[in-house]
Chain A
Amino acid sequence: MKRFPASRRTISLVAVLALLAAAFGYVALRSGPFTPIPVTVTTVESKAIAPSLFGIGTVEARYTYRIGPTVAGRVKLVHVNVGDMVEAGQQVAEVDPVDLDDRIASQEASLKRAQSSVLAAEAQVRDGAARKTYAETQARRYDELQQKQFVSEEADEAKRQEHQIALANFDAANANLNAARQDIARLRADRDGLIQQRANLRLVAPVNGLVVARDAEPGTTVVAGQAIVEIIDPTSLWVNVRFDQSRAFGLRADLSTTIVLRSQAHKTISGHVARVEPRADAVTEETLAKVVFDQTPEHLPPLGELAEVTVALPELAAAPAVPNAAIKHLDGKTGVWVIEGDALTFVPVRVGASDLDGRVQILEGLKVGDRVVVYSRRDINAHSRIKIVDSLTGNKP
């Protein structure tokens, strides 16, 4: 009954078996249910948080002038092209007047004819006046002759009647003259009206601006109110921004913002909130606001370009804050995992404001100095075995 001889063979065999056993032990501990979950931990600090709001919007012009005729017509000329700068009063397009010019000429002719009619009426008035004076004189003379019994009463009556007729004729001539003058006024007004209409077909720019659209070409028939060219005021560009309603609290006018245009992603442009729209978008659940540039950008962004807008809200008083990765939801409660000694406890908390870097203020439930779990390799629960490490991804977070 002797033991195995402690030969080299035995030693090598034992060594190989021991190695296997060690590797197995390592594997069992590292990959089974007994493996501790690596977690990272942070200490709750009191921090002032500067919350910000983030929204996206499109560049729009505050004032857009859509210039078109007030009556249906055919476009005759378009004088400007997209990209042209125009001045207030500059003609930008013209609608075909069709027969308007001929009608004006006709009115002119009528006017001239009416002026001749006035001359004729004036001549009639003079004629009437002469007849009236003569009849008056004749009537007076016959009156005197009749008193001296030189002429019969009948002859006197006749002269008096002639005088009456001459008076009436004179009044009629005067009335004719008035009518002829009124006619002139009417024809002149008619002609002026046509000239106005004619001028109305020449479309002019109401302001200094930039042509952004040329919607109709010469020959196109447009209906009343349809735009032929669109002009914007380039100094009035703003961003129509949409903020998710659930994170739009505190948005108000005059807050300063940074704007990043999609075409210039590396550059931030400063601006401020011009107004928050009183009417939100009920379908997309977004609050709308207009953000203006503090300085008109050197290179005008195209209308409709996408812009990211970050609105800085006033800094809040310091309060215990944790990273938002630490906030967990368990059984309908919001809370964090607090480490006391080796024990893990889920502490329900009430969360307050948060900033865009992911720091969340805790209004209730935590105090400064508490150690809370931030990152974990798996979901953890109260019975989890944990191992505290610096980082879970190798590099520092």
Chain B
Amino acid sequence: MISLAGRDILHAWGKFVFTGVGLGLLIGVTLTMAGVYRGMVDDAKVLLSNSGADLWVVQKDTLGPYAESSSLYDDTYRGILGMPGVARAANVTYLTTQVRHGDRDVRAMVVGILPNGPGEPGYLVAGRQITRSHYEAVADIATKFKLGERIQIRRNRYTVVGLTRRMVSSSGDPMVFIPLKDAQEAQFLKDNDAIINQRGRTAANPAFNRPGVPGLLDAVIASQSGNPFVNAVLVQIKPGFTAEEVADPIRRWKRLQVYTRAQMEEILVAKLIATSSKQIGMFLVILAIVSAAIVAFIIYTLTLGKIREIAVLKLIGTRNRTISSMILQQALGLGVIGFVVGKISATFWAPMFPKYVLLEPGDAARGFIATMVICALASVLAIRAALKVDPAEAIGG
């Protein structure tokens, strides 16, 4: 038995394949949009994984350190280290800022870490981890910094000693890791003009600048220029303890807010990126509906374009089943080509996006099934139209 569908496709294969490719690009866009959404959620999750923490200790009654600002005294970690079940605890600071390199500046999240502590990047792609306690940086490769380059964060210059990958903030900014002491300074340090103005303002205050008390002004200025704060304490727990078992005593006795991994994920995904991910999600839904409609129309018009041929087939006594299966096969074939082209194009253009686009195999599978279902449904419309054709049209119209 000859394949009617195959014959028909062969008859005008260029048209068929190009329609498939066009459809594919549309499916590619839909898959990419799904990837953008997944990437957004993944950015939030990868931020948590990369911090290497099991618990986040932050200022009481805040959602810090990612979703809200939080500040703790930098000696808080000492008390936390003594709590049951705590294996390691380390201060950390986060600051989103412009990192300058030559004429260029890059928006990055500057993370202050303790060398060898939790919070250090878990893997590198080049260079080494920070060894000096000042003025070294490990940067995400997305910043396009190279090993050995000198970058400027606020007032100080740092040498890039290591490169890592996929270390991003929840908004997708690449991270730059620097030693904690420098980061504390960077977070607090005002520009020189502001410092001088502040000194002048203090000196103008008669309460601080008293002629009878030499040295008072200096003492006040010194006390204004210290920053004993960090944003959070990252805690790793000992094996054999659950996160809640460790978190509870800290909440109760240290009177600090403690988040477990699950709670943190909830905060990031449900609160921090909620609106923007919903925005993308909405767009994804509309795009999927539009794609489905376009697929259906294309198949319908393809069939209508062949009305005369179908009438001839009917005239020579072809059975309805054969005609239906021809249309269905063509629709599914179009769907397969479209999906394959879509998947390929999405994979190739995804890395070009400035933010991470995560193409999940699960999404691809769902996309494939959806494409097939839509094609099948669309072909039903076309089949109905085809079956209603009067064989006489082959001779007449």
Contacts and interface: CB of A to CB of B under 8 A. Distances in A.
B163 A393 contact: yes
Given A223-B212, A380-B123, A355 B347 contact: no
Contact of B181 (A4, A244, A308, A328): A244
Interface string A221-265: 111001100000000000000011011000000000000000000
A1 B344 contact: no
Contact of B236 (A227, A332, A357, A380): A332
A375 B214 contact: no
B53 to A, nearest CB: 11
B126 A392 contact: yes
A23 B344 contact: yes
A358 B128 contact: yes
B188 interface: no
Interface string B215-237: 00000000000001000000010
Given A31-B359, A323-B128, A328 B344 contact: no
B130 to A, nearest CB: 9
Interface residues of A, number: 58
Interface in B142-159: 147
A121 B345 CA distance: 127
Interface in A149-165: none
Contacts, number: 124
A397 B17 CA distance: 46
Given A20-B344, A355-B131, A356-B131, A4 B10 contact: yes
Contact of B115 (A31, A221, A247, A325): A247
Interface stretch (B1-9, B37-45, B388-396): B1-9
B347 to A, nearest CB: 4
B52 A329 contact: yes
Contacts of A380: 123
Given A21-B340, A247-B115, A392-B125, A324 B131 contact: yes
A323 B131 CA distance: 11
B341 to A, nearest CB: 7
B203 interface: no
Interface stretch (A7-15, A200-208, A296-304): A7-15
A56 interface: yes
Contact of A32 (B2, B6, B122, B361): B361
Interface in A25-60: 27-28, 30-33, 54-56
B238 interface: yes
Nearest to B116: A246
Contact of A377 (B125, B129, B161): B125
B129 A325 contact: yes
A258 to B, nearest CB: 13
A378 interface: yes
**Interface hub of B123, B127, B161, B238 (most chain A Cβ within 10 A):** B123
B141 interface: yes
30 contacts: A2-B2, A4-B6, A13-B17, A16-B17, A23-B340, A24-B340, A28-B343, A32-B361, A33-B361, A55-B133, A223-B214, A246-B115, A283-B75, A308-B135, A324-B129, A325-B127, A327-B129, A329-B118, A329-B122, A331-B239, A357-B131, A358-B128, A358-B161, A375-B125, A376-B123, A378-B166, A379-B49, A379-B123, A392-B126, A397-B126
Interface of B: 1-2, 6-7, 9-10, 13, 17, 49, 52, 75, 87-88, 114-116, 118, 122-129, 131-135, 141, 147, 161-163, 165-166, 181, 211-212, 214, 228, 236, 238-239, 337, 340-341, 343-344, 347-348, 359, 361
Interface of A: 1-2, 4, 9-10, 12-13, 16-17, 20-21, 23-24, 27-28, 30-33, 54-56, 221-223, 226-227, 243-244, 246-247, 283-284, 308, 323-325, 327-329, 331-332, 354-358, 374-380, 391-393, 397
